[in-house]
Homo-oligomer: A and B are copies of this chain.
Amino acid sequence: MTQMQEARKGRITDEMKAVAEKEGISVQKIIEGLANGRIVIPKNVNGRSRPMGVGKGLKTKINANLGSSSELEKVKWEVEKAKTAVKYGADTIMDLSTGPGLETVREAIMDVVDVPIGTVPVYEAAVTASKSKGAVINMDEDDMFNAIENQARAGVDFITVHCGITRETVEKVKASNRIMGIVSRGGSFLAAWILQNQEENPLYSNYDYLLEVAAEYDVTLSLGDGLRPGCLHDASDVPQIQELVTLGGLVDRARDAGVQVMVEGPGHVPINQIQANMQIQKTVCKEAPFYVLGPLVTDLAPGYDHITSAIGGAIAASSGADFLCYVTPSEHLAIPNVDDVREGVIASKIAAEAADIAKGVNGSWEREVEMAYARRDFDWEKQFGLAFDGEKARKCRQRKPSPDEDMCTMCGDFCAIRIVRDNF
């Protein structure tokens, strides 16, 4: 039985208890949210992860994407990145490997971290077809479903499935004035497959079978936004919204089958369109947890897209998004290194925290207040302890040691806080 099915029967699982405790809210709220699909707990029956919830009333969660793009010897590097991501607060990790050692990387990551693991199984199908049949578009339906079943069996907690890429939506992309076309890897695989094979996307036409597999292992489906905009110009256009409408229908069918489901969202979006995007997703997809990549609010800052995304992510999450996928400084340029992963995670943590204050979720405001007292009292150790990255903050302060504890070198002797303390 899936967590959703258990909840509908009113049965409290260990996972529900653990999530309720972690979030500081009642188990009843968790059960209600699971039953009506506003909350998911991505936890494969074969998985080893600590239970974690995403959705209404819960803390905004963040995901770190990892995964080799080519050579096998990179397993160690990916493992190091996974450890770094979790150390700085990633709530989940998606292994997006497309290298030959795909399974090895995933297993290695699952061995060292205890957060839920997500994947995009069509990558495995595409990579295999590319090697054994000469091209991605030569994969067949069995390749796709075999990859999904393999990964479900292996204990993956949530999978991105681009079920909204259909013959109809692909035609809409062709007829559109998009500059960037399709920038989702999985989306492009399936769109190319549809065009070359002139057949419907098996993940759409055989969605019921997909639901059976998902239900068997309680794999949470993350309905991919294969048509997310790849630049500001393409945002909120017909193909994107058409796909969202399709996904809304698939949410209903997943819920009917007792399968946990989230919906993925854009992408690159002008700042003044973000709130509308969140509101429309929430109505069209009946408040399914919304998992957002970015959104990036400008395309002019390669090298700093963790910042462009943190801006969009903070607005998205405070407008209703539940789950933020991090973006690293190397987005659009190169595969991220360990430093990029750290910076991406921290930027997402900042966005999530900013939003959680607006959402009023448990614990965020209290921690902000604690930090304010620590600052007022020049309690540096407490500040470093509360900080998302206390090490960096400590190093920065120590760069040029302050003569006194009750000041820093920014204002020196003329510290406002000290002057107020001494004169009020």
Contact = CB atoms under 8 A, between A and B. Distances in A.
Contacts of A368: 231-233, 298-300
A321 to B, nearest CB: 13
Copies in the complex: 2
A359 to B, nearest CB: 9
Contacts of A189: 414, 419
A410 B337 CA distance: 10
A223 interface: no
A207 interface: no
Interface string A369-395: 101110110000001101111001100
A269 to B, nearest CB: 10
A134 to B, nearest CB: 13
A95 B384 CA distance: 29
Between A365, A373, A413, the greatest number of chain B beta carbons within 10 A of the residue's beta carbon is seen for A413
A241 B299 CA distance: 36
Contacts of A409: 69-70, 334-335
Interface in A96-114: 98-99
A270 B383 CA distance: 19
Interface in A168-192: 173-174, 179-185, 187-189, 191-192
Contacts of A293: none
Interface in A348-382: 349-351, 353-355, 357-358, 365, 367-369, 371-373, 375-376
A224 to B, nearest CB: 12
B311 A416 contact: no
Contact of A179 (B195, B298, B373): B373
B334 A397 contact: yes
A77 to B, nearest CB: 11
A220 interface: no
Contacts of A310: 307, 310-311
A397 B302 CA distance: 10
Contacts of A9: none
Interface of A: 69-70, 98-99, 123, 126-127, 130, 136-137, 173-174, 179-185, 187-189, 191-192, 195-196, 230-234, 270-272, 297-304, 306-308, 310-311, 314-315, 318, 329-337, 346-347, 349-351, 353-355, 357-358, 365, 367-369, 371-373, 375-376, 383-384, 386-389, 392-393, 396-397, 399-400, 408-417, 419-424
Which 3 pairs between the two chains have the least Cβ-Cβ distance? A231-B372, A69-B412, A192-B423
Given A137-B423, A233-B369, 5 more contacts: A70-B412, A98-B413, A230-B375, A334-B400, A335-B400
